[in-house]
């Protein structure tokens, strides 16, 4: 595959994977963004974190007539989502666990695209009653199918140990609580981000939005396909 030369800071998209009203994902993502901002690479300006909230993307249930692998996007919302993902060099996914898996909105967002995910690196941060570990296990398999390399270190945030519900009505299932992760969580997240950056540096630079053809597929000079 032809590689592109990266200019500017390394951009990491921190994707909030839940769109449910009253979700705790925004708080978890906010904490993750703060921790990442203290990482040496981010403080040095060689990397930057961008929070990408799927609730703001407003993607309907997949409505593209052509499979994503062909990059022939017909819907304006797909093209907007394509540009968001293509602009990122790597990702950190923040996901709760719904019925032993990821939220439908997150799976749907992954399924919309293909080439924009290819040859990039991701870290996984799960939260939930059991720390979201089964959701992150499933997400790891899903991302493999769109050629995303997932680093081994992942972060787990259990609801009943990392949220403070004192002062909340114990009978209220919608009480958000206050996120209070321990120092070990921050250490794990920092280690995961280091792996994301290290692995990304070892891979060919991914296709960026400037290298993409009008239909969303990588464009090569003189050929509609990738060149060596």
The share of the chain scoring above pLDDT 70, in percent, equals: 86
Q: Please state the separation of Cα 114 from the chain's center in Å.
A: 14
* Each residue's pLDDT tens digit, 155-184: 999 988 888 888 787 777 778 888 888 889
Averaged pLDDT, 17-26: 92
The share of the chain scoring above pLDDT 90, in percent, equals: 71
SS3 content of the chain, % helix, strand, coil (to 5): 35, 20, 45
Angstrom distances, CA of residue 65 to CA of 42, 44, 104, 111, 209: 40, 44, 19, 13, 22
Of 5 and 108, more confident? 108
* Domains of the chain, each with CATH number or no CATH: 10-211 (3.40.50.360)
């Amino acid at each position: 595959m032809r590689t592109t030369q990266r200019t500017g800071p390394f951009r990491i998209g921190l994707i909030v994977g839940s769109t449910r009203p009253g979700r705790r994902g925004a708080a978890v993502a906010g904490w993750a963004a703060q921790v990442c901002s203290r990482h040496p690479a981010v403080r040095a300006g060689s990397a930057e974190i961008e929070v990408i909230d799927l609730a703001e993307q407003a993607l309907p249930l997949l409505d593209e007539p052509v499979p994503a692998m062909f990059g022939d996007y017909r819907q304006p919302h797909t093209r907007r989502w394509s540009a968001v993902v293509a602009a990122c060099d790597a990702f950190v996914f923040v996901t709760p666990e719904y019925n032993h898996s990821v939220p439908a909105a997150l799976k749907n967002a992954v399924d919309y695209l293909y080439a924009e995910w290819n040859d990039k690196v991701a870290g996984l941060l799960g939260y939930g009653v059991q720390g979201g570990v089964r959701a992150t296990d499933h997400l790891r398999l899903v991302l493999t199918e769109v050629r995303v390399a997932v680093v081994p270190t992942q972060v787990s945030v259990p609801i009943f140990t990392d949220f403070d519900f004192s002062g909340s009505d114990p009978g209220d299932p919608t009480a958000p609580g206050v996120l209070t992760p321990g120092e070990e969580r921050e250490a794990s997240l920092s280690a995961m981000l280091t792996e994301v950056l290290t692995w990304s540096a070892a891979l060919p630079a991914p296709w960026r939005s400037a290298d993409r053809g009008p239909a969303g597929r990588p464009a090569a000079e003189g050929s509609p396909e990738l060149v060596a």
